[in-house]
Amino acid sequence: MIIRFGILFSILAIVSGCSTLTGEGTSQNIAVFTYKSDNQMLDGARCQLTNDEGSWTAITPASVMVQRSNKDLVVRCVKDGYSDGQANVVSDTKANMFGNIIFGGGVGAIIDHNNGSAYVYPNTVNITMGQSKMIKGN
């Protein structure tokens, strides 16, 4: 009985593994698109993506690799002839963070929190020029 419990616990610990060990990493690719106020796509806007881990620049449409963080990602886009567009992209805690706490005694949770791999941003960020908004979840 003790051996079965040990095997079950080991499997649960592996399955709930921390993001650092499961290879999900500390960075994330985000697609950024810009739109005019009439919802038509607008190419060629210069966007700055910033969080406490760094700052990245892209020309839309773009795919940008950013460093994950528990802090929100601020995306600000500019283009001549248009008012700036901005979004506050909310950082969300990944589900395996809770597995780290429950099954890993918190060590994996501390590691993933410190390196940002416990968090995720939405995969796509749509910015409407002239507007400021908050973007949550995928």
- Residue 37 is predicted with a pLDDT of 95
Q: Measured between alpha carbons, how far is 138 from 136 in angstroms, rounded to an integer?
A: 7
- Residue 65 is predicted with a pLDDT of 97
**Residues paired with 59 in a beta bridge:** 46
How far out from the chain centre does Cα 82 lie? 27
Q: Where are the domains of the chain?
A: 2-135
Res 9 pLDDT > 90: no
pLDDT in tens, 14-62: 444 444 444 458 899 999 999 999 999 999 999 999 999 999 999 999 9
- Residue 25 is predicted with a pLDDT of 83
Q: Measured between alpha carbons, how far is 19 from 115 in angstroms, rounded to an integer?
A: 10
CATH 3.40.190.10 fits 2-135, yes or no: no
Mean pLDDT of 118-137: 93
